[in-house]
Amino acid sequence: MLVNQQHFRTIWPKFDDGKAMVQVIDQTRLPHVFAVADIASLQDMVHAIKTMQVRGAPLIGAAAAYGIALAMEESCTDVQLSHAAITLVAARPTAVNLKWAVDRMLARLQPLPLQDRPRAAWAEAAVICDEDVLLNQAIGQHGLEIICQQVRSKTRTLNILTHCNAGWLATVDFGTALAPIYAARDAGINLHVWVGETRPRNQGASLTAWELGQHGVPHTVISDNAGGHLMLQGQVDMVIVGADRVTATGDVCNKIGTYLKALAAYHGDVTGARIPFYAAVPSPTIDWTIEEGVAHIEIEERHADELIWISGKLADGTIASVNVLPSDTQVVNPAFDVTPAKFVTGIITEHGVFAPDQLREMLECREDA
């Protein structure tokens, strides 16, 4: 997508004078500074993942793949390959995509003669990135169809509400929840996005607002608290969010606060007219082994500091963090919540859009094939 009118992905390799490295957009400095970070070694990549210079499940997978490629530049022995795999997986132990990407790299590289491993690693990492982009573009096209249906029933700008960041910054390009929005924008549809700031980490305020702004998509930031009011007042036409996990029955596990937006969409505007609520995800995000999301998805409890300290830019331009709580206040910080399928209109995937109770059809189609 665009940054200062120039096309960027979130991650790419760079080969200069025989030296191979990786470059990434440093997400810890957004939205105040746009900076590209050089990742010259496995160690650099582990650091980038740990410190969230790169974040978002699909992007972390791509970063891990390139981490293996960088490791192969140092040495291409089996020992080095195992070391790289273990170190990368330990960088964010709960990230499913990271483990998936590392396993895929191992499966590709282990059978090869040592001298072939570096080139194959760079090539496989590039394929992982390109596949992510294609997947997200397909999600964008299926989501675009739904947006077009909504547009036909409206005579004014279409207002879409999103939560957190499931945009291109969370992936290699295009994003998941924002892919349909970018596709609609490119198709000339008159739309506007409500962006919830997404406390406690403020991914909406700092990342979603930034990337929509760079790509020229009209948007307005609101407190997370304001979403229900706007829906009741008829100012939201549909909701599209991403998801970290979707159950076989269509329960949606996503960033904390998603459930409250889904409830408000379900109760709709002042006339009670329901507002469609969609989660956009690549199909591997669907966990076919789980049916009861609220009871069976374990919710990650994150550090209290995320709520206690807020980072931003002081009036003099310095980046700093301020403590917003009385000292010694107890904090609980669940990172995700589960929206029961009852409140979900549909799941947008690369294979099409499915109502929660029809999600299994996707699996059956793929098993038939």
Residues tagged active-site: 244
Number of residues that bind a copy of itself (CB under 8 A): 66
Under the criterion CB under 8 A, does residue 33 sit at the interface with a copy of itself?
no
Q: What DSSP character marks residue 237?
A: S
Stretch that binds a copy of itself, among 43-51, 110-118, 261-269, 351-359 (CB under 8 A): 261-269
Q: Give 200 or 346: the residue with its C-beta nearer to a copy of itself.
A: 200
Stretch that binds a copy of itself, among 68-76, 120-128, 262-270, 278-286 (CB under 8 A): 262-270
The Cα 168–Cα 229 span in angstroms is 28
Q: Residue 98 in contact with residue 49, Cβ under 8 Å?
A: yes
Q: Is 148 helix (H, G, I), strand (E, B) or coil?
A: helix
Under the criterion CB under 8 A, does residue 206 sit at the interface with a copy of itself?
yes
Q: Residue 40 in contact with residue 21, Cβ under 8 Å?
A: yes
Residue 109 CB-half CA count within 13 A: 33
Q: Which of 94, 110, 190, 225 binds a copy of itself (CB under 8 A)?
A: 225
Element (H, E) at 365: helix 359-368
- Closest distance to a copy of itself from the beta carbon of 169 (Å): 12
The Cα 179–Cα 242 span in angstroms is 10
Stretch that binds a copy of itself, among 106-114, 135-143, 228-236, 242-250 (CB under 8 A): 228-236
Under the criterion CB under 8 A, does residue 311 sit at the interface with a copy of itself?
yes
Under the criterion CB under 8 A, does residue 223 sit at the interface with a copy of itself?
yes
Stretch that binds a copy of itself, among 80-88, 131-139, 140-148, 304-312 (CB under 8 A): 304-312
Of 282, 283, 196, 287, nearest in space to 249 by CA: 287
Q: What is the DSSP string of 62-81?
A: HHHHHHHHHHHHH--SHHHH
Q: Where along the sequence are the contacts to a copy of itself (CB under 8 A)?
A: 30-32, 197-200, 202, 205-206, 209-210, 213, 219-230, 232-233, 255-257, 259-261, 263-264, 267, 270, 294-295, 299, 307, 309-315, 320-334, 336-338
